[in-house]
Amino acid sequence: MEPILQIKNLHHVYSRGTPFEHIALEDVSFQVERGEFIGIIGHTGSGKSTLMQHMNGLLKPTSGSVLLDGEDIWANKAATRQSRFRVGLVFQYPEYQLFEETVYKDIAFGPKNMKLDEKEIDRRVREAAGFVGITEQQLSVSPFDLSGGQKRRVAIAGVIAMEPEILILDEPTAGLDPEGREEILANINAYRGAKNATIMMVSHSMTDVARMADRLLVMNHARLAMDGAPGAVFARADELVEMGLDIPDVTRVFLRLRQLGLDVEPVYTVEQAVMALSRLKEGHCHA
């Protein structure tokens, strides 16, 4: 099957021809398969946000192309607009974009812009609210009366209600407490499971991306530095640290164990760590 999203030789230069010229993306190419969960990591200013805003046509590439289902999203105006609905983008701190009188109306903003009929809008609002755990009563209150974590989930529901095939989130868990973080990540997984959606998530938490993603993209100095499975990427720990990035805590522990002479494979999630340790223990018992 054809990949749902193809990024080809993407370049982006800000404020071209002025003293403030700044290259944000340089020759970035990759493909996204339907249903994948991709984690995007990179230090601040590495081009992650610029990259995200190319996926739904908010930014126009200086050169290169973005193909959605094989069609260039800049082919014509209708294609660009269509890409806005098919690729849902959740910005950082999305709760600062809430504006309606009620939670219901705010979630309905996207579907309304899609010119859907009342019944379809209603179905989508309720379904989206369900994915993020917003109750029936909360739909009729003002979004500004909710807690920080709830606001964030309403804002995410506002994008999910458009039922995008690709959902892109920029640090969806930034500034939340551990409980709020777990909830948001579970909400994202629920949406992915129900709609077989493709997810791309930017995160600074290596532990989160290691746990959630099937594939990692590493951005460094406007370029795509690595593209591979979490295991393969985290195996190159030295390079990641050199880029100013981190590795999951458990990976760091295991790399140190190896240095100390223990025979363990590098792991990147706690589950894997438990398995590796119990294997090790069994080995010792049999020996």
Partner 1 sequence: MLKDITLGQYFPGNSPVHRLDPRTKLIVLVVYIVALFLASSWVSYGVMFLFLAISIAISRIPLKALAHGMKPLLFILVFTGILNVFFTPGETVLVSLGAIRITAEGLVRAVFMMLRILMLITGTFLLTYTTSPISLTDGLESLLGPLKAIRLPVHELSMMMCIALRFIPTLIEETDKIMNAQKARGADFESGSLMSRVRALVPILVPLFISAFRRADELATAMECRCYHGGDGRTKMKLLRYKLLDYKTFTLTLLLFSAMIVLRRFGM
Q: Which residues bind partner 1 (CB under 8 A)?
A: 15, 53, 56, 58, 81, 84-85, 88-91, 94, 96-99, 109-110, 113-114, 144, 158-159, 162
Yes or no: say if 266 and 258 are a contact pair by the CB < 8 Å rule: yes
Residue nearer to partner 1 on the CB measure, 83 or 205: 83
Of the pair 14, 30, the CB lying nearest partner 1 is at: 14
Distance of CA 160 to the CA centre of its chain: 13
Q: Name the minimum Å distance from CB 97 to partner 1.
A: 4
* Closest listed residue to residue 225, CA positions, set 156, 233, 190, 71: 233
CB of 272 to partner 1, least distance (A): 35
Residue 2 Cβ, how far from partner 1 at the closest point, in Å? 24
User: What is the nearest approach in angstroms of partner 1 to the Cβ of residue 89?
Assistant: 4
Residue nearer to partner 1 on the CB measure, 74 or 85: 85
Of the candidates 197, 254, 255, 207, which has an alpha carbon nearest to the alpha carbon of residue 230? 207
CA angle centred on 243, ends 24 and 62, rounded to 5°: 10
198 vs 251 by CB, closer to partner 1: 198
Kindly list the strands in the beta sheet with 63-68, ordered across the sheet, starting from the edge strand earlier in the chain.
22-32, 5-14, 63-68, 71-72
- For residue 273, the number of C-alpha atoms closer than 13 Å in the C-beta half-sphere is 15
Please give the Cα distance from 248 to 253 (Å, whole number).
9
Residue 173 CB, nearest distance to partner 1 (Å)?
A: 17
Q: Considering the complex, state which of residue 113 and residue 196 has its C-beta at the smaller distance from partner 1.
A: 113
